[in-house]
Amino acid sequence: MARADALYQRGNDLYRLGRMPEALASLDAALALRPRHPGALLSRGATLFQLKRYEAALQSFERLLALQPGSVEALYNRGVALFALQRWSDALASYDRALALKPGHADALVNRGLTLQKLHRHEEALASFDQALLHRPHHVEALNNRGTALQAMNRHGEALACFDQALALRPDNADALNNRGNTLDALDRPEEALASIDRALVLRPDFAMAWSNRGVILRHTNRLDEALQSADRALALQPGDPDAHWNRGLTLLMQGDFRSGWAEYEWRLRVPSLGHGPRPYAQPRWQGDESLTGKTIFVYAEQGLGDTLQFCRYASLLAERGARVLLEAQRPLHALLAGLAGVDALLGPGDEPPAFDCHSPLLSLPFAFGTELASIPAPPRYLAADPARVSAWQSRLAAQAGPTVRQRVGLVWAGNPTLLQDRHRSVPLELLLPLARPGLQFCSLQKELRPGDRERLAAHPGVLHCGDELNDFADTAALIASLDLVISVDTAVAHMAGALGKPVWILQRHSPDFRWLLDRDDSPWYPSARLFRQPRRGDWSSVISAIAEQLQGRIT
């Protein structure tokens, strides 16, 4: 027994010295003499964890729990191992068992919160971090992770306060500096964001995540070459990091380097937070190198409505290669997409597809086809509105038009408020209302109104609000087809107008989505589109002044 205890103690000493293989050998020797040594089993699991042998670590903790079912530390460490194995629900159950025995276990509360975040249960995660701070008010990890939960909930001001509190306690905390940088970027403070990330990298030059995040911030300031350099540093340190690859892909696509960009964009399917993981079908994914003649391909939408409207054009290219095309798309688009060329069957999410030979996510088709700037499939239009609905809208608008109306203009000023970048792309309605003038009939295509917008519209008879009469996207398409021009922020309506071949002026934030590229006022995806870009971050006034000048030219 004494010999086993001595080997156990030696293993602990070696662990503290960071000599993990030797520590493991000593602990194994102790357990060979005394297989039920609880301390050695706990330390062995911790040592295996440090060696990244997570499954073996889990087994060691479970051996201890078989001996001592009420061991709080075994339950806690079991949760840590399960977390590393990405078994989130099992990890949560283990932390909950530990906390039932010891409610004030601050580290278990913090790790429980981290696990809840992986399960996208951010409100509960926040409560767990708050509980940890009740027991240990100066728990730096609790403060830091509380900030990340608030970040996920778009409560960026509160998140920043958490990171600042954590850094007041531990100024050299690189994790908090990195998270603080991300939050400052979300708060439109990019220079401060870069300074915070750079401080983290001074402390930890090999901090791959910080290099990746630095690249994202630089992309948000349109410093694309520097963004790529940071992404490359991240990938040199952590070659398989899906976030770094995906963000590098977005930067390349923004630069117009489609050959490299689409390949990197495929990594989005491995980014857990995006939720676009590949579907586990037995049939192979089509990646452009297999003949489609006589085969059925199942293509499925994976992102937003605008993405589906933009990339559904590839259905006709698949059909040209001899494929029978099954397209799964969001149900609100079905009436509009019913006549899309190349589609043999239209399905909704959750529908069981008929038999198929291969499959592809919709946004992987540009990669599969090797799409480059010069080869973007961009017909004048590839969607059409229902003629009967168009006629109904034309009659409705004619009844409202005065004798001086020369142009009918649709207006969209806001997107989905739940999206992270929405506050950068949406424009306050009051900034656009002065565009209305004699000779123009303005029609609001806005389906969801922001607080106060209905009152603003009611007080401005120069704008006819049609959004309440739009029952589906086919209605919206018919209204667009009845207009002379659409003016829209970057939303599904902008994509719809472009797909219908309708002239569309798209208001662009200073750092746009990758598909709009940089430094051009046209779009290679939509021949009928014209882009009006912010010259500086947040400067909508210049954009609206340019639009006002161009509008005047349409009525004089």
In a domain, 145, yes or no: yes
**In this structure, what are the phi and psi dihedrals at residue 437, rounded to the nearest 5 degrees?**
-160, 165
Q: Are 180 and 55 part of one and the same domain?
A: yes
Within a domain: 290: no
CATH number of domain containing 172: 1.25.40.10
Of 375, 405, 427, which residue is a domain's last?
A: 375
> Exposed, middle or buried, 323 (CB in 10 Å: 0-12/13-18/19+)?
buried
d(C-alpha 87, C-alpha 366), whole Å: 34
Same domain, 550 and 494: yes
- Count H helices, E strands: the chain? 27, 10
Residues 468 and 494 in one domain: yes
Q: What is the pLDDT of residues 115-150, one digit of tens each?
A: 999 999 999 999 999 999 999 999 999 999 999 999
For 35, the token pair is 């297989």
In sequence order, the 6+-apart residues with CB closer than 8 A to the CB of 514 are 250, 251, 253, 254, 261
Q: Are residues 158 and 301 in the same domain?
A: no
In a shared domain, residues 337 and 468: no
Instruction: Indicate whether 447 belongs to any domain.
Output: yes
Residue 25 burial by Cβ neighbours in a 10 Å radius (0-12, 13-18, 19+) = middle
Assigned domain for 260 exists:
no
Q: In angstroms, how far is CA 341 from the centroid of its own chain?
A: 30
Tokens of 305: 């409505």
pLDDT digits (tens, 9 = 90+) for 348-361: 999 999 999 999 99
| 319 shares a domain with 238 | no
Say which CATH number the domain at 444 has.
3.40.50.2000
Looking at the fold, whether 303 and 399 belong to one and the same domain comes out as no
Domain encompassing residue 306:
296-375
Whether the per-residue pLDDT at 244 is higher than 90: the answer is yes
Find the mean pLDDT for residues 48-53. 95
In a domain, 253, yes or no: no
Q: Output the pLDDT for position 1.
A: 61
Closest CA to 14 of 50, 55, 52, 57: 50
What is the pLDDT, as a whole number, of residue 403?
65
What value does the mean pLDDT of the chain take?
Answer: 94
pLDDT band at 402 (very low <50, low <70, confident <90, very high): low
Residue 399 confidence class, pLDDT cut points 50, 70, 90: confident
User: What average pLDDT does range 92-116 have in this prediction?
Assistant: 96
Query: Is residue 406 located within the same domain as residue 502?
Result: yes
CA 335 – CA 429 distance, rounded (Å): 29
304 & 451 share domain: no
305 and 172 part of one domain: no
In a domain, 271, yes or no: no
Give the pLDDT score at 420: 64
Confirm if 146 and 163 have CB atoms less than 8 A apart: no
The answer as to whether 21 is a domain residue is: no
CATH code (residue 365): 3.40.50
pLDDT in tens, 499-512: 999 999 999 999 99
Q: How many domains, the chain? A: 3
Q: Are residues 233 and 172 in the same domain?
A: yes
Q: Which of 247, 272, 306 is the last residue of a domain?
A: 247
What is the value of pTM for the model shown? 0.89
CA distance readout (Å), 236 to 125, 208, 232, 240: 32, 8, 6, 9
Q: Does position 417 have pLDDT exceeding 90, yes or no?
A: no
Same domain, yes or no: 234 and 350:
no
In a domain, 252, yes or no: no
Q: Region 60-76: what's the mean pLDDT?
A: 95
Q: What is the DSSP string of 380-440?
A: S-S----HHHHHHHHHHHHHH--TT--EEEEEE----TTSTTHHHH---HHHHGGG--TTE
